[in-house]
């Protein structure tokens, strides 16, 4: 079955440093989504990428979808303490019907 892998599992940064998490699928995806879960909270939808090579930005967050539509990345520029949380990617394979979540990257930011 479809597998979605995320690396790293954990990332500790100093406030102001950049952060990147990577998502890789074993199959070609119809789309990729990113969610953020704050400590003690529930996952919240951030963005969806659909097109091959697509890049989207939300303030300091940059999301990319690979040309082959099998990988994606989330990059945060100049992290802030408000960025703390776990970031999940989730994708649906082209021939599939359900979303598969990655294991998430847990980000901590030291002030």
Partner 1 sequence: SQTIHQWPATLVQPVGSPLSLECTVEGTSNPNLYWYRQAAGRGLQLLFYSIGIDQISSEVPQNLSASRPQDRQFILSSKKLLLSDSGFYLCAWKSGRRTDTQYFGPGTRLTVL
Q: Which residue's CB is nearer to partner 1, number 32 or number 76?
A: 32
Q: At its nearest, how many Å lie between partner 1 and the CB of residue 37?
A: 9
Task: List the one residue from 24, 77, 106, 108 that touches partner 1 (CB under 8 A).
Answer: 106
Can you tell me the distance from the alpha carbon of 101 to that of 96, in angstroms, rounded to the nearest whole number?
14
Please report, as residue ranges, which positions from 28 to 47 form the binding site for partner 1 (by CB under 8 A).
Answer: 30-31, 33, 41-45
Write the DSSP string, 72-96: EEEEESS--GGG-EEEEEEEEETT-
Can you tell me the distance from the alpha carbon of 73 to that of 65, in angstroms, rounded to the nearest whole number?
7
Task: List the one residue from 70, 71, 92, 109 that touches partner 1 (CB under 8 A).
Answer: 92
């Amino acid at each position: 079955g479809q597998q979605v892998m995320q690396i790293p599992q954990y990332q500790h940064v100093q406030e102001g440093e950049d952060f990147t998490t990577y998502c890789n699928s074993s199959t070609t995806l119809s789309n990729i989504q990113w969610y953020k879960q704050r400590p003690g909270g529930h996952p919240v939808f951030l963005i969806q990428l659909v097109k091959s090579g697509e890049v989207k930005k939300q303030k300091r967050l940059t999301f990319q979808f690979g040309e082959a539509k099998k990988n994606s990345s989330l990059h945060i520029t100049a992290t802030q303490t408000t960025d703390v949380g776990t970031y999940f990617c989730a994708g649906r394979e082209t021939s599939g019907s359900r979303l598969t979540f990655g294991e998430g990257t847990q980000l901590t930011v030291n002030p």
